[in-house]
Amino acid sequence: MNTREYAQQLDCKDPLKQYRAEFYLQPGTIYFDGNSLGLLSKRAEASLHNVLHAWKEHGIDGWLKGEHPWFYLSEKLGEMTALLIGAKPSEVVVSGSTTVNLHQIISSFYKPAGKRTKILADELNFPTDIYALKSQLMTHGLDPDEHLIQVKSQDGQTLREEDIIEAMNDEVAFLVLSGVLYRSGQIIDMERLTKEAHQHGILVAFDLCHSIGAIPHSLDDWNVDFAFWCTYKHLNGGPGAVAGIYVNEKHFGTHPGLAGWFGSHKEKQFDLEHDLTPAANAGMMQIGTPHVLSAAPLLGSLSIFEEVGIDQIREKSVKLTDYLIQLVDAELSEFDFQVRSPRDASLRGGHVFLEHKEAARICKALKAEGVIPDFRAPSGIRLAPVALYNTFEEVWEVVQILKRIMKEELYKKFDNKRDVVA
């Protein structure tokens, strides 16, 4: 297990090995940061050029002409995404950004009344979600200190679902959680928590930024109300790629809280009436004109997911992260690394979170040695071997490089503080 030859044998048996050639990999570099920004694929590049060509050839007529008419692009990408999350095509639209889509969900469906005024989240959530929830409460004249409940973590890295359930009561109107925690990679049982929340009359929205493209979902079967996500991590949509939003069909017909002309019924949009006729599907959640060029790469990147299927991706992802944890245990035990991701693969997403007091310096040393990790303050190192383009041999190499960095104390060349962008 601890040899390069063993890792190479695993690569020889990998049914997804041909997809590595689909991505732009830098020579001499091992990219383990795909849970922060996925790599560019040749298909994504081609689909961007396709849409650029349509602009070049058709001008304004590109809205209705070309291989992928822009007027229907958000819905087309929603259809391509639906299989990844277990949803109907009508329930998914690619639009906005993670934060904008959360604002839209809360603006449209959070209706504080009587004593049911509170929003339930957690203390490990990504900050942008908390910023959005606090600002939404303030627009209703409610004090976030009183009306936002953040479930505490008992170990600083993971959440106990029992603690979340215990916080559910008849004062809570809305629950917002991540499907996979961005630091530890813990998978939250979305089905269980949705069922419990509904029994308390609570609506549920999940942030899928770190789960979509990494693990399977069955949002319809789980009866989830809403979900939102970015597309530049595991989906490889590119920096600033257009995000996604899911609305269970049982909520169709609601007037959007943040209305805009692209939330119109398609056949009514260019009537240009001052009374909005919302789309009769998730398209109602759109606000402004879609960012066509920032959505275009998804046509190519999502086609890979359609071809491979999320189950195969998950199977390899589990093998990669299992192997990484095994090697950390075997090779780095003397250097005080702590694995803070769940060791049970069924509870772990697509990355491994290591904790070390010298984490910032170690990440800089890794980059100097050609490994691209991800630092999370104050002492976290996220390593994400991605099923579509990373190899088992790369996992082995990263652990060997880490071992050499620690043995030779190469990290001491660097300051133990993050750069502007960590």
Domains and CATH numbers, the chain: 4-31+309-413 (3.90.1150.10), 46-307 (3.40.640.10)
CA distance to 45, 266, 404, per residue, from 179 (Å) = 29, 32, 35
Q: Are strands 118-122 and 172-178 parallel, antiparallel or unpaired?
A: parallel
- Amino acid letter, 96: G
Q: How far apart are CA 271 and CA 376, in angstroms?
A: 49
Q: For residue 2, how many other CB atoms are within 10 A of its CB?
A: 12
Instruction: Characterize the bridge pairing of strands 380-383 and 374-376.
Output: antiparallel
SS3 415: coil
- b/e map 74-84, b = 16+ CB within 10 Å: bbbbbbbbbbb
Is the pLDDT at 212 greater than 80? The verdict is: yes
Residue 126 known to be catalytic? yes
> For 209-216, what is the mean pLDDT?
98
- Assess contact for 122 and 159: CB atoms under 8 A: yes
**Section 7-36 average pLDDT:** 98
Q: What confidence category does residue 418 fall into, taking pLDDT thresholds of 50, 70 and 90?
A: confident
* Cα(118)–Cα(149) distance, integer angstroms: 7
Q: At what angle do helices 310-331 and 292-308 cross, to 10 degrees?
A: 80
Q: Round to whole Å and give the CA distance between 348 and 217.
A: 14
Instruction: Write the single-letter amino acid at 233.
Output: K
Binding residues, as ranges, are 98-99, 126-129, 207, 210, 232, 261, 289
pLDDT tens profile 108-119: 999 999 999 999
DSSP 8-state secondary structure symbol assigned to residue 226: E
Is 220 tagged catalytic? no
Average pLDDT score, the chain: 97
CB atoms within 10 A of CB 5: 8
Which of 126, 131, 335, 414 is catalytic? The answer is 126
User: What backbone phi and psi angles, to 5 degrees, belong to 172?
Assistant: -90, 130
* Reported confidence tier of residue 417, pLDDT bands at 50, 70, 90: confident
Inter-residue contact 175 to 203 (CB < 8 Å): yes
What is the arithmetic mean of pLDDT over 13-17?
98
Which stretch of DSSP H or E encloses residue 172? strand 172-178
- What's the token pair of residue 384? 């994400």
Q: Between vectors from CA 321 to CA 405 and to CA 392, what angle results, nearest 5°?
A: 70
Q: Give the mean pLDDT of 387-410.
A: 98
pLDDT tens-digit profile of 131-157?
999 999 999 999 999 999 999 999 999
> Is 233 a known active-site residue?
yes
Can you tell me whether residue 102 is helix, strand or coil?
A: helix
Q: What is the model's pLDDT at position 420? A: 66
Whether residue 421 is predicted with pLDDT greater than 80 in this model: the reply is no
Contact criterion met (CB below 8 Å) for 382 and 353: yes
- 31, 33, 110, 207: the catalytic one is 207
Which long-range CB contacts under 8 A does 254-257 form with residues at least 24 apart? 254/108, 254/109, 254/278, 254/284, 255/108, 255/284, 256/104, 256/107, 256/108, 256/284, 256/285, 256/287, 257/104, 257/106, 257/107, 257/108, 257/109
Question: What's the average model confidence in pLDDT over 257-266?
Answer: 97
Q: Annotated binding residues for pyridoxal 5'-phosphate, as ranges?
A: 98-99, 126-129, 207, 210, 232, 261, 289
Taking only the tens place, the pLDDT of each residue in 281-302 is 999 999 999 999 999 999 999 9
Determine which one of 32, 232, 262, 305 is catalytic: 232
Cβ distance 384 to 34 under 8 Å? yes
pLDDT tens string 318-361: 999 999 999 999 999 999 999 999 999 999 999 999 999 999 99
Instruction: Tell me which DSSP letter residue 22 carries.
Output: G
The catalytic position among 233, 319, 340, 364 is: 233
Q: What are phi and psi of 216, to 5 degrees?
A: -70, 155
The token pair that represents 62 in the structure block = 């590109």
Q: Which 3 state secondary structure label does DSSP give 151?
A: strand
Q: Is 207 a catalytic residue?
A: yes
**DSSP letters of 361-397?**
HHHHHHHHTTEE-EEETTTEEEEB--TTT--HHHHHH
**Predicted pLDDT at 419:** 81
Helix (H) / strand (E) element for 308: namely helix 292-308
Residue partners of 402: CB distance under 8 A and separation at least 6: 331, 332, 337, 362, 366
**What's the whole-number mean pLDDT along residues 253-258?**
97
Mark whether 246 is an active-site residue.
Answer: no
pLDDT higher than threshold 90 for residue 422: no
The one catalytic residue among 382, 389, 392, 411: 382
- The whole-angstrom distance between residue 124's C-alpha and the CA centroid of its chain comes to 15
- Per-residue pLDDT, averaged over 65-78, amounts to 97
